[in-house]
Amino acid sequence: MAARQDLYQHPDYYLMDEMLSDEHKLIREATREWVKRDVSPIIEEYAQRAEFPKQLVKGLAEVGAFGPYIPTEYGGAGLDQISYGLMMMEIERGDSGVRSTCSVQSSLVMYPIYAYGSEEQRRKYLPKLASGEMLGSFGLTEPNFGSNPGGMVTNIKDMGDHYLLNGAKMWISNAPFCDIAVVWAKNEAGRIHGVIVERGMEGFTTPETHNKWSLRASATGELVFDNVKVPKENLLPNKSGLGAPLGCLDSARYGIAWGALGAAMDCYDTALRYSKERVQFDRPIGGFQLQQKKLAEMITEITKAQLLTLRLGQLKNEGRATTAQISMAKRNNVNMALEIAREARQMLGGMGITGDYPIMRHMMNLESVVTYEGTHDIHLLITGMDVTGLSAFK
Ligand SMILES: Cc1cc2nc3c(=O)[nH]c(=O)nc-3n(C[C@H](O)[C@H](O)[C@H](O)COP(=O)(O)OP(=O)(O)OC[C@H]3O[C@@H](n4cnc5c(N)ncnc54)[C@H](O)[C@@H]3O)c2cc1C
């Protein structure tokens, strides 16, 4: 397969760049250049082969995509939340699977170790995770508990000098090659705790999940624990209960809201360019009203989402973004991106289904993004609960 030429130009209909700092723009450009150079030429082939491009790990670490907002003393980039968002936007513009790896590493592994971990745990793991020397995974979902993680059956038993961990997690991004896993398990009293499980611990296995039509360039698997002896110092000491994993999800969902925007902008940009070049009935298809309707609606939705997401970033920087606000942005942006991918795919006619263009890959990827980190329906129920004060999901 010939390497694809990446001609991406980002849409900025409402001159949103004027609302970004020079540092934000520099970070965005550096990430974009890296994506154009290292991701776009190879990603289609890896997705077709259903293989995670491991060689990207070094570059991701170098652009600061592992722990962008983790303080520099722990190896992070020490940036603000808008910088984190812009990075996720650019990386998902390349591929949702590559962005998933960053979300897991930053928000689901580094964040809990930073926010809930001991000083020893921070110093032991964070610098290696930031440099990509170590890759992590996050085990919350189980075969029988997806949208309702509080029902989990994975458990730890206090054995005096260690914990004994039993159970299984399913649908875990990065599982097949992770060096460590942040695993959520109930203790004897039914309280949820996070423990750090390391590859090589006896009884810990990570079988890969095959046959995915979506996120094919991201590895997914199970985490299986059969009487795994976890040292006591591997328990995250500073937060327990369901709120602990949900706090990580807030951070990851925030990044996904930005990321989905990137995928949508790539689909729009591709369809816009194609509509000016492809001639049918002696004129570019972009001159037909029906195609203009699609493009006009796409840029309207993208512009609305850009505004929503930047405002959320400002609130996040001030520590004021609520879980429900993040839910709204994740749900809106992923759904918007999925609809744009479907429309853009049609605009490319038969070419839209090929790997010569990124749209079909984005479309299939987004089918996972709309489901993981809280489904489209669950996020709607979170908004419903927030405005009424009444829970409709349990
Ligand atoms: C590619 C991929 C990667 C993933 N990576 C990770 C990871 O790294 N770590 C991790 O822990 N998990 C991960 N997940 C799991 C993901 O978060 C779950 O798939 C998701 O939370 C949904 O759970 P479920 O698949 O069990 O669906 P279910 O919870 O069984 O839901 C099925 C359907 O029922 C609906 N539903 C459920 N409850 C209600 C209700 N109360 N009211 C109305 N409708 C409802 C849902 O919206 C959905 O449409 C990943 C999933 C995928 C596909």
- Phi first, then psi: give them for residue 184, nearest 5 degrees: -100, 125
Does residue 309 belong to any structural domain of this protein? yes
- 310, 19 contact by CB (below 8 A): yes
Q: Could you tell me the CATH number of the domain that includes residue 164? A: 2.40.110.10
Q: Which of 131, 156, 180 is the last residue of a domain?
A: 131
Does residue 3 belong to any structural domain of this protein? no
- 100 in the same domain as 43: yes
- 27 in the same domain as 148: no
Q: Would the CB of 173 count as within 6 Å of ligand 1?
A: yes
- The CA 154 to ligand 1 mean position distance, Å, reads 17
pLDDT in tens, 308-356: 999 999 999 999 999 999 999 999 999 999 999 999 999 999 999 999 9
Q: What pLDDT, on the 0 to 100 scale, is given for residue 291? A: 98
Residue with CA closest to ligand 1 atom 40: 393
Burial-class residue 246 by CB neighbours within 10 Å (0-12, 13-18, 19+).
middle
Give the confidence band of 1 by pLDDT, cuts at 50, 70, 90. low
Q: Please identify, by atom number, the ligand 1 atom nearest to the C-alpha of residue 373.
A: 17
Q: Which of 97, 131, 165 is the last residue of a domain?
A: 131
Of the candidates 92, 142, 346, the one whose C-alpha atom is nearest the C-alpha of residue 245 is 142
The string of DSSP letters for 68-86 reads TTS-GGGTS----HHHHHH
- 363 in the same domain as 292: yes
Does residue 6 belong to any structural domain of this protein? no
Q: What pLDDT, on the 0 to 100 scale, is given for residue 394? A: 78
Question: What average pLDDT does the segment 42-62 reach?
Answer: 98
Q: Would the CB of 69 count as within 6 Å of ligand 1?
A: no
Does residue 305 belong to any structural domain of this protein? yes
- 297 in the same domain as 226: no
Consecutive H or E run containing 195: strand 192-198
Does residue 191 belong to any structural domain of this protein? yes
The two tokens of residue 273 are 């360019």
Pocket test for ligand 1, best of 103, 141, 335 (most atoms within 8 A of CB): 141
Q: Could you tell me the CATH number of the domain that includes residue 82? A: 1.10.540.10
What whole-number percentage of the chain has pLDDT above 90? 98
- The yes-or-no verdict on residue 4 having pLDDT over 90 is no
How far is residue 335's CA from residue 366's CA, in Å, rounded to a whole number? 8
Q: What pLDDT, on the 0 to 100 scale, is given for residue 393? A: 85
Q: What pLDDT, on the 0 to 100 scale, is given for residue 106? A: 98
Pocket test for ligand 1, best of 95, 111, 147 (most atoms within 8 A of CB): 147
Q: Would the CB of 139 count as within 6 Å of ligand 1?
A: yes
Q: Would the CB of 248 count as within 6 Å of ligand 1?
A: no
- The CA 372 to ligand 1 mean position distance, Å, reads 6
DSSP-derived secondary structure letter, 137 = E
Does residue 394 belong to any structural domain of this protein? no
Does residue 268 belong to any structural domain of this protein? yes
Question: pLDDT averaged over the chain?
Answer: 97
- 119 in the same domain as 88: yes
pLDDT in tens, 137-193: 999 999 999 999 999 999 999 999 999 999 999 999 999 999 999 999 999 999 999
- 354, 203 contact by CB (below 8 A): no
- The CA 293 to ligand 1 mean position distance, Å, reads 34
- 278 in the same domain as 377: yes
Q: What pLDDT, on the 0 to 100 scale, is given for residue 313? A: 98
Does residue 282 belong to any structural domain of this protein? yes
Q: Please identify, by atom number, the ligand 1 atom nearest to the C-alpha of residue 137.
A: 8
pLDDT in tens, 109-127: 999 999 999 999 999 999 9
Q: What pLDDT, on the 0 to 100 scale, is given for residue 5? A: 84
**Number of neighbours of residue 207 by Cβ within 10 angstroms:** 12
Q: Please identify, by atom number, the ligand 1 atom nearest to the C-alpha of residue 375.
A: 47
- 294 in the same domain as 229: no
How far is residue 375's CA from residue 368's CA, in Å, rounded to a whole number? 9
- DSSP H stretches of helix in 173-288: 243-277
Q: Would the CB of 68 count as within 6 Å of ligand 1?
A: no
- 267 in the same domain as 198: no
Q: Which of 169, 199, 234 is the last residue of a domain?
A: 234
What would you report as the CA-atom Rg of the chain, rounded to the nearest whole angstrom? 21
Question: What average pLDDT does the segment 288-305 reach?
Answer: 98
Of the candidates 93, 96, 99, 104, the one whose C-alpha atom is nearest the C-alpha of residue 33 is 93
- 278, 284 contact by CB (below 8 A): yes
Q: What pLDDT, on the 0 to 100 scale, is given for residue 158? A: 98
**Number of neighbours of residue 143 by Cβ within 10 angstroms:** 12
**Residue 1 vs residue 193, higher pLDDT:** 193
- 295, 278 contact by CB (below 8 A): no
- 379 in the same domain as 249: yes
The two tokens of residue 85 are 């968002």
Rounded (5°) CA angle 136-182-82: 65
- 223 in the same domain as 86: no
Question: What average pLDDT does the segment 69-86 reach?
Answer: 98
- 157, 190 contact by CB (below 8 A): no
Question: What average pLDDT does the segment 50-56 reach?
Answer: 97
Q: Could you tell me the CATH number of the domain that includes residue 320? A: 1.20.140.10
If one counts the domains in the chain, the total is 3
Q: Which residues pair with 169 in a beta bridge?
A: 223
Consecutive H or E run containing 297: helix 289-317
- 371 in the same domain as 335: yes
Q: Would the CB of 368 count as within 6 Å of ligand 1?
A: yes
Q: Would the CB of 371 count as within 6 Å of ligand 1?
A: yes
Q: What pLDDT, on the 0 to 100 scale, is given for residue 3? A: 63
For the entire predicted model, the pTM comes to: 0.98
Close Cβ partners of 243 (under 8 Å, ≥ 6 residues apart): none
Catalytic residues: 373
State the residue range of the domain holding 351.
243-388
- 248 in the same domain as 217: no
DSSP-derived secondary structure letter, 352 = G
What whole-number percentage of the chain has pLDDT above 70? 99
Q: Would the CB of 375 count as within 6 Å of ligand 1?
A: yes
